Amino acid sequence: MNVNQSAPPVPPFGQPQPIYPGYHQSSYGGQPGSTAAPTPYGAYNGPVPGYQHAPPPPGVSRAPPSSGAPPASTAQGPCGQNAYGQFGQGDVQNGPSSTVQMQRLPGSQPFGSAPLAPVVSQPAVLQPYGPPPTSAQVTAQLAGMQISGAVAPASPPSGLGYGPPTSLASASGNFPNSGLYGSYPQGQAPPLGQTQGHPGAQPPQRSVPPQASSFTPPASGGPRMPSMTGPHLPGQSFGGPPGSQSNHVSSPSPQALPSGTQMTGPPGPPPPMHSSQQPGYQLQQNGSFGPARGPQPNYGSPYPGAATFGSQPGPPQPLPPKRLDPDAIPSPIQVIEDDRNNRGSEPFVTGVRGQVPPLVTTNFLVKDQGNASPRYIRCTSYNIPCTSDMAKQAQVPLAAVIKPLARLPPEEASPYVVDHGESGPLRCNRCKAYMCPFMQFIEGGRRFQCCFCSCINDVPPQYFQHLDHTGKRVDAYDRPELSLGSYEFLATVDYCKNNKFPSPPAFIFMIDVSYNAIRSGLVRLLCEELKSLLDFLPREGGAEESAIRVGFVTYNKVLHFYNVKSSLAQPQMMVVSDVGDMFVPLLDGFLVNVNESRAVITSLLDQIPEMFADTRETETVFAPVIQAGMEALKAAECAGKLFLFHTSLPIAEAPGKLKNRDDRKLINTDKEKTLFQPQTGAYQTLAKECVAQGCCVDLFLFPNQYVDVATLSVVPQLTGGSVYKYACFQVENDQERFLSDLRRDVQKVIGFDAVMRVRTSTGIRAVDFFGAFYMSNTTDVELAGLDGDKTVTVEFKHDDRLNEESGALLQCALLYTSCAGQRRLRIHNLALNCCTQLADLYRNCETDTLINYMAKFAYRGVLNSPVKTVRDALITQCAQILACYRKNCASPSSAGQLILPECMKLLPVYLNCVLKSDVLQPGAEVTTDDRAYVRQLVISMDVAETNVFFYPRLLPLTKSPIESTTEPPAVRASEERLSNGDIYLLENGLNLFLWVGASVQQGVVQSLFGVSSFSQITSGLSVLPVLDNLLSKKVRGLIDNLRAQRSRYMKLIVVKQEDKLEMLFKHFLVEDKSLSGGASYVDFLCHMHKEIRQLLS
């Protein structure tokens, strides 16, 4: 069996034509039901435990809507306590999962035969579609770094804190005290505009951004190219480029920020050296590497200044202190830019096994020629070590980030739907893998050998086809399942719960009508919006109207159900006050077709805000609300989604009642993990019931104070739902963000009642899963709902030796109910290469995916381990990965050199961003709810989302010509890249800032803000005025564009330089030292180098 596919002729369906010739292109509609056997998922992966639930007790109580309790002042603290919370920490997922062993095996086994890779200097980017590149190696000359053991860093306070964490006052989101954030701590503002290099070794460079400077070998190539310029000891100072004397800013006063931040100096490889103009300049303390340490012996060549680079291993010379040049270390911006330039112009054709796709930050089209698009599956490596020993040695996690229902750009075709009729999809008899392009037909086409388990299967007569002279079926290119990486099968009744075709799903809107929800204007806003939004429920194909039925519930301490049957003149309310034993008081008239019941629904939505306008009820229940929605779906025998709009900690007497257990004192203690764990197991039990029913829960939170996101989000995360959080919601400030999220959430295509299984060829198997789902066994990922934004990350381990020739195969099969109620299987196949040389592994890794996996691993780890342990494990693993490369793949070189694999040269900078993220190293302004919220959000993010979330995009707006229509090139996320004469946008997928330098030209201020001076700009502004000029249109257009790229609406915050809000903004300048003690990129790279050296010694 050999799955090494050569690129086949372009199949007829390689293009985005909607109809596949000869194949049933889904025409959706309700399926006829049939009564039957009670085996859920009979044919699929074996029986699923059915969560038996007692039938609801009868009884309907009618009561007045409001329970009229006095406003029990449940300490609804004033908003604004937490300004941070308003700045949209994103959202969602994953739940407490199984226990995680944080400590990974040290990769200590010697791996014998790995020869040293030839040191071939090579552009940062792989050749598109070509054969795997030869060894790409980056040597980072940290020769001058004085980080040998002589001076150990002061022991960091928490894992890896460089320097004492700036002591912050207790949480106070308002940043009223400029002392808190007002003065940038010393050491954080490195000299601006350093363009350091080694003129002797470098050829003049073409004009590219300064970021381009690292990692390109000099023309005068020796055997090893010092492509990273000599770093300097942090804490040493080094001169700025000539003519930008004011670059060294210690405590940035606006005037001190020179406009020279955007260095225009000759870029390219190691940037040109500028003579040190301020030789005596002492950079402020730079973390625990100590201020201005002198050069030390035994450390390769102390950075020798100009001409002697690389040839001066001799004794240290008394040099003026220097620092590691930020331009000389790997730049995310440059890597992204290079990949765009090299791989963005041609489509990515998936016909070749083991190809590394373009980066997620590159726009490219995909042509499916037998492997799943990287939009569906991305891997940490596309070349898997043949043996587990080798994998352990390298410590590179083998994982796939899978987004089964990913949305595609309009130019790419959705997966074709294949209908095999009553016999259903063809599968291997033994391992149950689905027919795919890698199955090998033999014996003239009468049998096929399974590419996963090697079992020989008979080809059913109706599927028989002759083979051509190459052994390929002559109809291979007429059948999606024989020639494409991704396709769908129509499922037969055997794949349906209870052997019965599903009913169309239902949406139930469940609205908190307690005092806070009414007072903030939320209820009125929501009801008004729903009137029009209900016309946009998801539908499939050319369906005229959505098949989805809707229902409505309002609640505080009790629940109100509404009968909105089309025959009624007015909606009817039924109150259930016995929340301890929830049941659904009505069946007929609760779930209805929107068009049929439009008049009654509109009337209801008009009445709800009025009915509760005078409520004084502040207490809410929560679990009974979900229970009620789930029971309603159960009674209607359908899957569906609950949309909960909730405001407060559910303290009313009821199942799932919670208490306020927030305690920031637990941070950095062994009990910190409890902050991430749910405070009761009741929600997990409830979630299991929901999953069994195919009841997905989306939660919109509007908290004014702690609501225990960690507990409230358990059900959403285990049911594949989403959580949205709008702290201190006020209609005037937050309605755009909320409505935008709501519209997108309601309209998005979603699969219900889903089960996902990942099969692999012999030798590896899926062992661990991350995401928003539930698992009742070790192989089946159960998803009450799955939408196009959610990913499931799967980790693989060896259970046997792999074979270079046959490679390794993954097949992800997702069984789900479409939003029209059709049962389908979506199949994604991916073939990977296998290697016996470590160098091949390191050449075919994808750092963005590695970071996605490592972040998820860490974020799940905090549920069970102290945060420090989690952080240390990350650092250790990263060091092991890089040390293994150094030891086995890089050519021999001075220990003083940091040598990074080309594909992983951003691993340190990105890992540092994960380590200093709010979950792993919270600042004082980050609340417990924020952390729980972000933790879940990240767990089901795709690779593009984690990429920008951990390393935000910073776009200068006034650098490029105003006429330019393209997005401005990003700059590195560091304060030293900001110039006070410019304006920047910063976004990370959840937050969006517009930073205005204090010396921005008056004309620019006028064009953008409609005021005449910087001082008149309102700090914290969230909407730019609509002005009729080019700049205003361009910036607003860019903002719209950025928002359109993200799955959640990013609220804009205008931040003025030196304003107190600037502290929020600086939190996202991730290359700098953070206020919470997170290391700067430069410091972290030094630290990582030290860790690697320790492993190697």
Under DSSP, the state recorded for 825 is E
Residue 54: helix, strand or coil by DSSP? coil
List the end-to-end C-alpha distance of the chain, in Å, as a whole number. Answer: 43
- Contact between 813 and Zn ion by CB under 5 A: the answer reads no
Are 1059 and 996 a contacting pair, CB within 8 Å? Answer: no
- The rounded distance, in Å, linking the Cα atoms of 927 and 856 is 20
Q: Which residue, 428 or 830, has its beta carbon nearer to Zn ion?
A: 428
Q: Which residue, 340 or 420, has its beta carbon nearer to Zn ion?
A: 420
Q: How far is the CB of 429 from Zn ion (least distance, A)?
A: 7
Q: Which residue, 361 or 811, has its beta carbon nearer to Zn ion?
A: 811
Q: Which residue, 450 or 1061, has its beta carbon nearer to Zn ion?
A: 450
Indicate the helix (H) or strand (E) that contains 701: strand 695-701
- Identity of residue 931: R
Q: How far is the CB of 455 from Zn ion (least distance, A)?
A: 5
Are 772 and 790 a contacting pair, CB within 8 Å? Answer: yes
Neighbours of 572 (CB within 10 A): 16
Q: How far is the CB of 460 from Zn ion (least distance, A)?
A: 16
Q: Which residue, 337 or 780, has its beta carbon nearer to Zn ion?
A: 780
Q: How far is the CB of 454 from Zn ion (least distance, A)?
A: 7
- Contact between 810 and Zn ion by CB under 5 A: the answer reads no
Stretch that binds Zn ion, among 380-388, 390-398, 433-441, 862-870 (CB under 5 A): 433-441
Q: How far is the CB of 802 from Zn ion (least distance, A)?
A: 17
Q: How far is the CB of 829 from Zn ion (least distance, A)?
A: 13
Q: How far is the CB of 433 from Zn ion (least distance, A)?
A: 5
Indicate the helix (H) or strand (E) that contains 991: strand 991-996
994: left (phi over 0), alpha (psi -120 to 50) or beta: beta
Neighbours of 647 (CB within 10 A): 28
Stretch that binds Zn ion, among 330-338, 359-367, 449-457, 818-826 (CB under 5 A): 449-457
Structure tokens at 76: 């609804």
Q: How far is the CB of 963 from Zn ion (least distance, A)?
A: 59
Stretch that binds Zn ion, among 337-345, 425-433, 511-519, 621-629 (CB under 5 A): 425-433
Choose which of 306, 365, 431, 775 interacts with Zn ion (CB under 5 A).
431
Q: Which residue, 430 or 466, has its beta carbon nearer to Zn ion?
A: 430
Rounded to the nearest 5°, which phi and psi values hold at 385?
A: -60, 145
- The rounded distance, in Å, linking the Cα atoms of 612 and 523 is 9
Q: Which residue, 452 or 676, has its beta carbon nearer to Zn ion?
A: 452
Indicate the helix (H) or strand (E) that contains 754: strand 750-760
Choose which of 426, 428, 766, 1000 interacts with Zn ion (CB under 5 A).
428
Q: How far is the CB of 679 from Zn ion (least distance, A)?
A: 45
- The rounded distance, in Å, linking the Cα atoms of 851 and 862 is 16
Q: Which residue, 120 or 453, has its beta carbon nearer to Zn ion?
A: 453
- Contact between 1 and Zn ion by CB under 5 A: the answer reads no
Q: How far is the CB of 457 from Zn ion (least distance, A)?
A: 8
Tokens 């796939």 found at: 400
Q: How far is the CB of 467 from Zn ion (least distance, A)?
A: 20
> Distance of CA 744 to CAs 428, 628, 784, 936, 1053, Å?
39, 25, 19, 19, 22
Q: How far is the CB of 757 from Zn ion (least distance, A)?
A: 13
- Contact between 450 and Zn ion by CB under 5 A: the answer reads yes
Stretch that binds Zn ion, among 229-237, 341-349, 391-399, 445-453 (CB under 5 A): 445-453
Q: How far is the CB of 448 from Zn ion (least distance, A)?
A: 10
Crossing angle of helices 522-533/731-747, nearest 10°? 30
Q: Which residue, 496 or 766, has its beta carbon nearer to Zn ion?
A: 766
Indicate the helix (H) or strand (E) that contains 1056: strand 1051-1056
User: What's the chain's length in residues?
Assistant: 1097
Q: Which residue, 44 or 452, has its beta carbon nearer to Zn ion?
A: 452
Q: Which residue, 809 or 841, has its beta carbon nearer to Zn ion?
A: 809
Q: Which residue, 120 or 431, has its beta carbon nearer to Zn ion?
A: 431
Determine the distance from the C-alpha atom of residue 490 to the mean position of all C-alpha atoms in its chain, rounded to a whole number. Answer: 31
Rounded to the nearest 5°, which phi and psi values hold at 573?
A: -105, 140
Q: How far is the CB of 436 from Zn ion (least distance, A)?
A: 11
Are 691 and 774 a contacting pair, CB within 8 Å? Answer: yes
Under DSSP, the state recorded for 715 is H
Q: Which residue, 401 or 428, has its beta carbon nearer to Zn ion?
A: 428
Q: How far is the CB of 437 from Zn ion (least distance, A)?
A: 15
- Contact between 1011 and Zn ion by CB under 5 A: the answer reads no
Q: How far is the CB of 764 from Zn ion (least distance, A)?
A: 15
**Residues binding Zn ion: what is the number (CB under 5 A)?**
8
Are 571 and 603 a contacting pair, CB within 8 Å? Answer: yes
Q: Are strands 348-349 and 366-367 parallel, antiparallel or unpaired?
A: parallel
Rounded to the nearest 5°, which phi and psi values hold at 275?
A: -65, 145
Stretch that binds Zn ion, among 217-225, 232-240, 339-347, 455-463 (CB under 5 A): 455-463
Q: Which residue, 246 or 449, has its beta carbon nearer to Zn ion?
A: 449
Residue 808: helix, strand or coil by DSSP? strand
- Contact between 1038 and Zn ion by CB under 5 A: the answer reads no
Q: How far is the CB of 30 from Zn ion (least distance, A)?
A: 34
Tokens 């991350």 found at: 770
Q: Which residue, 450 or 764, has its beta carbon nearer to Zn ion?
A: 450
Stretch that binds Zn ion, among 218-226, 424-432, 669-677, 861-869 (CB under 5 A): 424-432
Residue 824: helix, strand or coil by DSSP? strand
- Contact between 453 and Zn ion by CB under 5 A: the answer reads yes
Reference 641, options 556, 538, 736; nearest CA is 538
- The rounded distance, in Å, linking the Cα atoms of 28 and 26 is 6
Stretch that binds Zn ion, among 198-206, 265-273, 446-454, 612-620 (CB under 5 A): 446-454
- The rounded distance, in Å, linking the Cα atoms of 881 and 878 is 5
Q: How far is the CB of 451 from Zn ion (least distance, A)?
A: 8
Stretch that binds Zn ion, among 341-349, 406-414, 450-458, 778-786 (CB under 5 A): 450-458
- Contact between 452 and Zn ion by CB under 5 A: the answer reads yes
Residue 555: helix, strand or coil by DSSP? strand
Q: Are strands 506-512 and 640-646 parallel, antiparallel or unpaired?
A: parallel
Strand partners, 830: 810
- Contact between 455 and Zn ion by CB under 5 A: the answer reads yes
- The rounded distance, in Å, linking the Cα atoms of 382 and 830 is 10
Q: DSSP assignment of 948-1001, as one string?
A: HHHS-EEEESSSS-TT--SPPPPB-SSGGG--TT-EEEEE-SSEEEEEE-TT--
Q: Which residue, 454 or 607, has its beta carbon nearer to Zn ion?
A: 454
Instruction: Give me the 681-720 binding string for Zn ion, x by CB under 5 A, dash otherwise.
Output: ----------------------------------------
Q: Which residue, 433 or 723, has its beta carbon nearer to Zn ion?
A: 433
Q: Which residue, 228 or 433, has its beta carbon nearer to Zn ion?
A: 433
Instruction: Give me the 129-168 binding string for Zn ion, x by CB under 5 A, dash otherwise.
Output: ----------------------------------------
Stretch that binds Zn ion, among 69-77, 149-157, 432-440, 499-507 (CB under 5 A): 432-440
Torsion of CA 152, 156, 162, 164, to 10 degrees: -120
- The rounded distance, in Å, linking the Cα atoms of 402 and 826 is 12
- The rounded distance, in Å, linking the Cα atoms of 495 and 436 is 19
Structure tokens at 1062: 């600037």
Residues in contact with Zn ion by CB under 5 A are 428, 430-431, 433, 450, 452-453, 455
